[in-house]
């Protein structure tokens, strides 16, 4: 099982818990991750935190958010600049840059990505994010189209990227994008690896036809297996295979009871007003669908609902079960020291 985690590009973690609850100190970081400073001190802090993961984590997902700290959203640094920095301070992990079609032209990303691929020694991939927060588009002057049309636009985006990376010259005329005599030189070292999120009908269709990996929100094995089965059937009709990563926020303790006691404390501190506020600001189908689930409400991508909760042996058994239903990567939150110490080093053996 491969591993992935979020890159530390945010300056303020989104809060879904009541402010100032001291009982959450060991499980939920409600403080600022860094001050908005700059220069060598800030660069060194990023290099140290990411460098410590190199060789331990297989993939680093560099997020891109546009809307600052409004409506529970994390304030974050730019994905292009941060991806370049993280590639420079690592030698082993793949750097996956989350990039939104509609905000950036595919030919520009093809050029930048080919350069990243060269500089990193073939360690770059893209997470094509179709977008779920509608106010981001207006704020940055990007074209907002309907939910399903955003996935159609992303499909064209990926198509141009793949052609640009594999052809000497590309001419393309689509509904959303067009290029004429596009040449990427120097080209990349290898083939493009495409990740995507979403689990709506439109997302599954795009994944089956265009992507290599799908990032899924957390959830029960039944929910996850259902999505995997649907996408695999569609991909088989296209003569393709798709792999799957699932979000997971672990809570590891010496016993299962102790871990679940921790969860009960967290559930008791949920700020349901914050959860409902976030629900109203999303234009998403399929993801964040289980709004009444207390486990799903504990974090932003339903990671606790995946159920990596308990003793080290219990968690490793759960990982085995996820692998059996088709999960090839865990997209992990690394905020639990016991998990990082007692479970993380053993995941590659699963």
Q: In what helix (H) or strand (E) does residue 117 lie, and over which residues does it extend?
A: helix 106-119
Q: Which residue is listed with tokens 């141009």?
A: 160
CB distance 304 to 247 below 8 Å: no
Tell me how far apart the alpha carbons of residues 7 and 9 are, in angstroms, rounded to a whole number.
Answer: 6
CATH for 2-348 is: 3.20.20.30
The pLDDT score that the predictor gives to residue 118 is 96
State the burial class of residue 1 (Cβ atoms within 10 Å of its Cβ: 0-12, 13-18, 19+).
middle
| Ranges of each domain in the chain | 2-348
Cβ density class 239-278: b for 16+ within 10 Å, e for less: ebebbbbbbbbbbbbeeeeebeebbeebeebebeebbeeb
The pLDDT score that the predictor gives to residue 314 is 98
The pLDDT score that the predictor gives to residue 148 is 93
The pLDDT score that the predictor gives to residue 317 is 98
φ, ψ of residue 296 in degrees (nearest 5): -65, -30
Query: To 10 degrees, the CA torsion angle through 305, 311, 313, 316?
Result: 30
CB distance 151 to 101 below 8 Å: no
Tell me how far apart the alpha carbons of residues 350 and 340 are, in angstroms, rounded to a whole number.
Answer: 16
- Which of 234, 194, 201, 233 lies closest to 215, judged by CA? 194
Q: Which residue is listed with tokens 């490793």?
A: 316
The pLDDT score that the predictor gives to residue 296 is 85
φ, ψ of residue 302 in degrees (nearest 5): 60, 30
Q: In what helix (H) or strand (E) does residue 330 lie, and over which residues does it extend?
A: strand 327-332
The pLDDT score that the predictor gives to residue 67 is 62
Flag residues of the chain having pLDDT under 50: 13-34, 36, 69-72
CB distance 198 to 286 below 8 Å: yes
Question: Does the global pTM surpass 0.85?
Answer: yes
Tell me how far apart the alpha carbons of residues 195 and 213 are, in angstroms, rounded to a whole number.
Answer: 5
98 is written with which tokens? 């989350």
CB distance 194 to 99 below 8 Å: no
CB distance 15 to 298 below 8 Å: no
φ, ψ of residue 309 in degrees (nearest 5): -130, 125
298 HSE (CA, 13 A, CB side) = 27
Beta bridge partner(s), residue 248 = 332
The pLDDT score that the predictor gives to residue 289 is 57
The pLDDT score that the predictor gives to residue 14 is 45
């Amino acid at each position: 099982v491969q591993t992935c985690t979020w890159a530390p590009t945010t300056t303020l973690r989104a809060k879904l818990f009541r402010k100032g609850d001291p009982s959450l100190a060991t499980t939920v970081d409600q403080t600022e991750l860094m001050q908005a400073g700059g220069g060598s001190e800030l660069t060194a802090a990023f290099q140290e935190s990411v460098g410590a993961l190199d060789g331990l984590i297989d993939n680093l997902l560099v997020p891109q958010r546009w809307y600052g700290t409004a409506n529970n959203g994390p304030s974050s640094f730019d994905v292009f600049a941060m991806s370049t920095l993280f590639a420079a301070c690592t030698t082993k992990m793949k750097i996956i840059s989350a990039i939104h079609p509609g905000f950036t032209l595919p030919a520009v990303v093809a050029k930048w990505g080919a350069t990243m691929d060269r500089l990193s020694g073939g360690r770059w991939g893209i997470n094509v994010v179709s977008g779920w927060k509608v106010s981001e588009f207006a704020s940055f002057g990007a074209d907002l189209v309907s939910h399903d049309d955003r996935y159609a636009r992303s499909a064209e985006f990926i198509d141009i990227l793949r052609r640009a990376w594999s052809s000497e010259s590309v001419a393309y005329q689509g509904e959303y994008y067009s290029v004429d005599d596009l040449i990427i030189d120097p080209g990349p070292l290898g083939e493009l690896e495409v990740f995507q999120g979403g689990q709506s009908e439109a997302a599954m269709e795009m994944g089956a036809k265009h992507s290599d990996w799908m990032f899924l929100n957390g959830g029960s094995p039944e929910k996850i297996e259902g999505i995997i089965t649907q996408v695999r059937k569609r991909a088989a009709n296209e003569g393709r295979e798709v792999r799957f990563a699932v979000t997971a926020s672990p809570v590891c303790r010496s016993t299962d009871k102790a871990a679940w006691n921790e969860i009960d404390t967290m559930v008791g501190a949920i700020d349901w007003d914050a959860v409902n506020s976030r629900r109203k600001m999303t234009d998403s189908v399929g993801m964040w669908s289980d709004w009444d689930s207390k486990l799903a409400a504990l974090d932003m991508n339903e990671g606790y609902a995946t159920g990596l909760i308990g003793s080290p042996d219990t968690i490793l058994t759960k990982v085995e079960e996820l692998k059996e239903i088709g999960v090839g990567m865990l997209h992990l939150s690394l905020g639990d020291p016991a998990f990082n110490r007692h479970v993380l080093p053993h995941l590659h053996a699963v």
